[in-house]
Structure 1
Amino acid sequence: MQPKLQNYKASGPKGRQRRFKFSWFSDFPSWLEYSESNHRAYCLLCFISSKNIKRRSGFDVFTVQGFDTWKKVHDGKNCAFLVHIGSGPCSHHNSAVTECCYLLNYPNHIDNIVEVANNQEKERNRLLLKTSIAAVKWLTLQSCSFRGHDETPQSKNKGNFLEILNLLAEFNPKIASVILENAPQNAKYTSPDVQKEILSIFAMKVRMHIREEIGDAKFSILVDETCDVAKREQMALVLRFVDQDGVVQERFFDLIHVKDTRALTLKKEISHVLSSHGFDVQNLRGQGYDGASNMKGEFNGLQALFLRECPYAYYVHCYAHRLQFALVAATKDVVPVTQFFQHLLFIVNTVDSSSKRHDELHDAQMVELACLLVIDELETGQGANQIRSLKRPGDTRWGSHLGSISSLMDMFNPVSSVLQKLAADSSPGTYRADGDTSFNYLTSFEFVFILCMMREILEITEQLGQALQKKRQDIVNAIRLVQSTKFLLEEMRSDDGWELFFCKVVDFCVTHEIDIPDMEQTYIMRGGRARRQPDHFTKERYFRVEIFPATIDTQLTELNLKFNEKVLGLLSISATLVPNNGFASFQASEICRMVEKYYPADFNKQERVGLENQLRHFVIDASNSDDLKNIATIADLCQHLVASRRAGTFNLIDRLLRLLLTLPVSTASAERAFSTLKIIKTRLRNKMEDEFLSNSLLVKIEGEILEHYSYNDIISEFRALKERRVEF
Structure 2
Amino acid sequence: MSIDKFFARIPKFQSANSSSQNSPLFRENVNHPENPPNNDEQSQEVDVNSLKADPAKRLAILKYHPNHRDTVRRAYIQKGPCQPRNHNFPQTEMSGALRRFNFKWFNDYPDWLEYSVSSDAAFCLPCYLFKDEDVHQRGGDVFSSRGFRSWNKKDRFGIHVGGPNSDHYKAKKKCEDLMRQSQSIQVALDKQSSQAKMEYRIRLIASIKVVRFLLGQGMAFRGHDEGISSSNRGNFLELLRYHTEICDEDVATVLRKAPKNNQLTSPAVQKEIIRACAIETAKVIIKDLNGDYFSVLVDESRDVSCKEQMALVLRYVDRRGFVMERFIGILHVRDTSASSLKESIASLLAQHSLSMSYIRGQCYDGASNMQGQFNGLKALIQRENRSAHSVHCFSHQLQLTLVGISKKCDEVAGVVNLVSAVLNVVGASFKRRDELRDAQILKVQKALEVGDLQTGRGQNQELGLARPSDTRWGSHFKSFVNFILLFDSIIDVLDIVGTDAESSDERWKARGFLDACLKFEFVFMLHFMKNILSITNELNAALQRKEQDIVNAMLLVGVAKKRLQMTRDTGWDSLIDDVLAFCIKHDIEIPRFDSFYVFRGKSRRKVAEYTVLHHYRVEVFYKVIDWQLQELNSRFNEVTSDLLHGMVCLSPSQSFANFDIEKIMRLAILYPDDFTSEDIRFSSLNGIGDLSKKLVETKKHLVYSHVYRLIRFSLLLPVATASVERAFSAMKFIKTDLRNKMENGFLNDCLITFKERDVFVCISDDDIMTTFQNMKTRRGQLD
Q: Is the 8 A contact 1:168 1:175 kept in 2?
A: no
Look up the equivalent residue of 2:657 and give its one-letter code. Answer: A
Q: CA deviation at 1:493?
A: 1.1
Alignment coverage as a number of residue pairs: 585
Aligned-pair CA distance for 1:449: 0.4
Aligned-CA RMSD value: 2.4
Residue 725 (structure 1) aligns with: 779
**Corresponding position of 1:69:** none
Q: 1:129 and 1:528 mapped to 2: Cα distance?
A: 77
Q: TM-score, normalised by structure 1?
A: 0.77
Runs (5+) with no aligned partner, structure 2: 1-191
Counterpart-to-counterpart distance in 2, 1:225 and 1:573: 32
Match of 2:744 in 1: 690
How far, CA to CA, are the matches of 1:474 and 1:205 in structure 2? 29
Q: 1:119 to 1:342 in 2, by over 3 A?
A: same
Q: Are the equivalent residues in 1 in contact too, given 2:293–2:358 (CA < 8 A)? A: yes
**One-letter code aligned to 2:235:** N
1:193 is the counterpart of 2:247: no
Offset of residue 433 of structure 1: 2.3
> For residues 83-98 of structure 1, what are the structure 2 equivalents within 5 Å?
none
Q: Which of residues 145, 157, 172 is equivalent to 2:220?
A: 145
What are the superposed Cα offsets for residues 464-501 of structure 1, whole Å, 9 maximum, x if unpaired? 1111121211111111111111111111112x221122
Q: Where in structure 2 are the equivalents of 1:437-456 lying within 5 Å?
A: 437-456=512-531
1:702 match: 756
Q: Shift of residue 185 of structure 1?
A: 3.8
Q: How much does 1:175 deviate?
A: 5.0
C-alpha change, 1:223 and 1:122, in structure 2 (3 Å) is same
Between the aligned partners of 1:237 and 1:426, the Cα distance in structure 2 is 49
| Cα distance in structure 2, aligned partners of 1:290 and 1:188 | 45
Deviation at 1:176, TM superposition (A): 4.2
Matched, 1:567 2:640: yes
Following the alignment from structure 2 to structure 1, what is the Cα–Cα distance between the partners of residues 537 and 225? Answer: 49
Could you tell me whether the CA contact under 8 Å between 2:204 and 2:264 is conserved in 1? yes
Partner of 1:666: 720
What's the CA shift for 1:212? 0.6
1:373-397 C-alpha deviation (Å, 9 max, x unpaired):
2233333333332212211111112
Aligned residue type for 2:255: I
* Secondary structure of 1:189's aligned partner: helix
- In the TM superposition, residue 139 of structure 1 has moved relative to its aligned partner by 1.5
- Given that 1:179 and 1:188 are in contact with CA atoms closer than 8 Å, whether structure 2 keeps it comes out as no
Contact 2:278 2:752 in 1 (8 A): yes
Which position in structure 1 is the counterpart of 2:591? 517
In 1, the alpha carbon distance for the partners of 2:417 and 2:393 equals 28
Q: How far apart, CA to CA, are the structure 2 residues paired with 1:149 and 1:536?
A: 65
Conserved? CA contact 1:319–1:468, under 8 Å:
yes
Task: Tell me the distance in 1 between the aligned counterparts of 2:613 and 2:382.
Answer: 54
Residue 438 (structure 2) aligned to one of 358, 363, 366? 363
- The amino acid across from 2:469 in the alignment is G
**Partner of residue 711, structure 1:** 765
1:725–1:670: structure 2 CA closer, same or farther, 3 Å change rule?
same
**Which is further off, 568-577 or 474-483?**
568-577
Aligned 1:192-341 pairs, distance under 5 A: 192-341=267-416
Aligned to 1:539: 612
Match of 1:415 in 2: 490
Q: Which residue is equivalent to 2:622?
A: 549
Alignment check: 8 A CA contact 1:469 1:666 kept:
yes
Do residues 675 (structure 1) and 729 (structure 2) align?
A: yes
2:254 match: 178
Q: Pick from 489, 507, 512: which aligns with 2:581? A: 507
Alpha-carbon distance between aligned partners in 1 of 2:596 and 2:575, rounded to the nearest angstrom: 22
The answer to whether the 8 A contact 1:157-1:163 is kept is no
Flag the 1:413–1:291 CA change in 2: closer, same or farther, 3 A.
Answer: same
SS in 1 for 2:460: coil
The residue number in structure 2 matching 1:400 is 475
Q: Shift of the alpha carbon at 1:266?
A: 0.6
Alignment-mate amino acid for residue 696 of structure 2: V
What fraction of aligned residue pairs are identical, expressed as a percent? 42
Aligned to 1:599: 671
Alignment-derived partner of residue 660 in structure 2: 587
Map Cα deviations across residues 37-63 of structure 1 (whole Å, 9 max, x no partner): xxxxxxxxxxxxxxxxxxxxxxxxxxx
- 2:198 is aligned with 1:123: yes
For the residues of structure 2 that align with 1:167 and 1:345, how far apart are their CA atoms? 48
Q: What one-letter code is carried by the residue in structure 1 that aligns with 2:697?
A: A
- Asked if the contact 1:334–1:551 (Cα under 8 Å) also holds between the matched residues in 2, the reply is yes
Alpha-carbon distance in 2 for matches of 1:297, 1:484:
30
CA distance 1:571–1:183, shift in 2 (3 Å) = same
Task: Give the AA of the match of 2:752.
Answer: L
Question: Aligned AA for 2:772?
Answer: F
Q: Distance in 2 between matches of 1:640 and 1:511?
A: 56
Over alpha carbons, which structure has the higher Rg?
1
Q: 1:160: how far off?
A: 1.2
Residues 366, 191 of structure 1: alpha-carbon distance in 2 compared, 3 angstrom cutoff: same
CA 1:428–1:697 in structure 2 vs 1: closer, same or farther (change >3 Å)?
A: closer
Q: Which amino acid letter does the alignment assign opposite residue 442 of structure 2?
A: V
1:179 aligned counterpart, secondary structure: helix
> Partner of 1:664: helix, strand, or coil?
coil
Unaligned 5+ segments in structure 1 are 1-116, 623-627
> CA–CA distance in 2 between the matches of 1:325 and 1:389?
26
* Cα distance in 2, alignment partners of residues 200 and 136 from structure 1: 11
Q: Distance in 2 between matches of 1:500 and 1:123?
A: 76
1:378 to 435, 438, 453: 453
Instruction: Return the alpha-carbon distance in structure 1 between the equivalents of residues 454 and 212 of structure 2.
Output: 44
Q: Conserved in 2, the CA contact under 8 Å of 1:289 and 1:318?
A: yes
Q: Distance in 1 between matches of 2:708 and 2:225?
A: 58
Q: Deviations over 1:398-417 (max 9, x none)?
A: 41111111111121121122
Cα gap change, 1:684 to 1:156, in 2 (>3 Å): closer
The AA in structure 2 aligned to 1:702 is E
Per-residue deviation, 1:453: 0.6
- Secondary structure of the equivalent of 1:255? strand
